[in-house]
């Protein structure tokens, strides 16, 4: 019976490993999501692996030549306990696939903060400052109250730029 297993890839070789596993006749699955990337003063959306350095492969260990997975270009190793690879519980990969949109990318939910929650700013000139959430006007922005120079200042920032403190 075919089950899903975890493959550890070489750094930044997830796509290479997936393509090479497919060429060998294995069913490989690399979940990806859209990540916002800043480069040269431009912000762009790029597809990145949901689990960096890992992907999934579907095998029947009794029938398939699963040891050849370890010799595939881009693959570091098949995650194993001793000599035998460890299969994932039923439904894990299917649950991940159910979150895919029409383009095959995983739809991530924005972080949800509640009013009064303490958060830390992760980016920009106020990085490492902490403040209190006042409100979330939409799914992409959050309004914070920061203590600056003895008074509270309202700051609006992207949700991706803050994390729970």
**Distances, alpha carbon 150 to alpha carbons 130, 131, 144, 146, 147, in Å:** 14, 13, 16, 10, 6
Joined together, the tokens standing for residue 31 give 């979940």
| Structural domain harbouring 74 | 3-97
pLDDT bucket at 97, cuts 50 / 70 / 90: very high
Statement to judge: residues 53 and 88 lie in one domain: yes
Please give the Cα distance from 144 to 162 (Å, whole number). Answer: 10
Please give the Cα distance from 136 to 142 (Å, whole number). Answer: 4
- Give me the pLDDT at residue 124, please: 83
Statement to judge: residues 78 and 46 lie in one domain: yes
**Do 74 and 13 form a contact (C-beta atoms < 8 A)?**
yes
Nearby residues of 70 by Cβ (< 8 Å), 6 or more positions away: 77, 78
Is 109 domain-assigned? Answer: no
Please give the Cα distance from 82 to 19 (Å, whole number). Answer: 27
CA atoms within 13 A on the CB side of 135: 3
Per-residue pLDDT averaged across 130-151, rounded? Answer: 88
End-of-domain residue from the set 97, 126, 144: 97
**pTM exceeding the 0.75 threshold for the entire prediction:** no
Please give the Cα distance from 112 to 129 (Å, whole number). Answer: 19
Per-residue pLDDT averaged across 14-35, rounded? Answer: 95
**Distances, alpha carbon 64 to alpha carbons 28, 56, 67, 81, in Å:** 14, 15, 9, 18
Is 103 domain-assigned? Answer: no
pLDDT bucket at 38, cuts 50 / 70 / 90: confident
Average pLDDT, the chain: 90
pLDDT above 70: percentage of residues in the chain = 99
- Give me the pLDDT at residue 42, please: 81
Residue 55 has pLDDT above 90, yes or no: yes
Statement to judge: residues 50 and 128 lie in one domain: no
Statement to judge: residues 13 and 73 lie in one domain: yes
- Give me the pLDDT at residue 10, please: 97
CATH number at residue 151: 2.30.30.30
pLDDT bucket at 127, cuts 50 / 70 / 90: confident
Q: How many domains does the chain have?
A: 2
Is 16 domain-assigned? Answer: yes
Residue 110 has pLDDT above 80, yes or no: no
- Give me the pLDDT at residue 3, please: 95
């Amino acid at each position: 019976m075919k089950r899903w297993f975890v493959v550890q890839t070489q750094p930044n070789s997830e796509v290479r490993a997936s393509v090479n596993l497919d060429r060998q006749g294995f069913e490989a699955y690399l979940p990806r999501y859209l990540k916002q990337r800043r480069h040269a003063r431009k912000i762009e959306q790029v597809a990145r692996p949901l689990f960096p350095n890992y992907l999934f492969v579907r095998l029947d260990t009794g029938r398939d030549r699963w040891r050849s997975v370890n010799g595939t270009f881009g693959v570091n190793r098949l995650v194993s306990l001793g000599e035998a690879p460890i299969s994932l519980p039923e439904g894990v990969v299917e649950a991940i696939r159910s979150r895919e949109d029409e383009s095959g990318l995983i739809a991530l939910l924005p972080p949800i903060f509640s009013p009064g929650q303490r958060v830390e700013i992760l980016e920009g000139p106020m990085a490492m400052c902490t403040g209190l959430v006042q409100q979330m006007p939409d799914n992409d922005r959050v309004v914070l109250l920061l203590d600056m120079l003895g008074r509270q200042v309202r700051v609006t920032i992207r949700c991706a730029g803050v994390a729970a403190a």
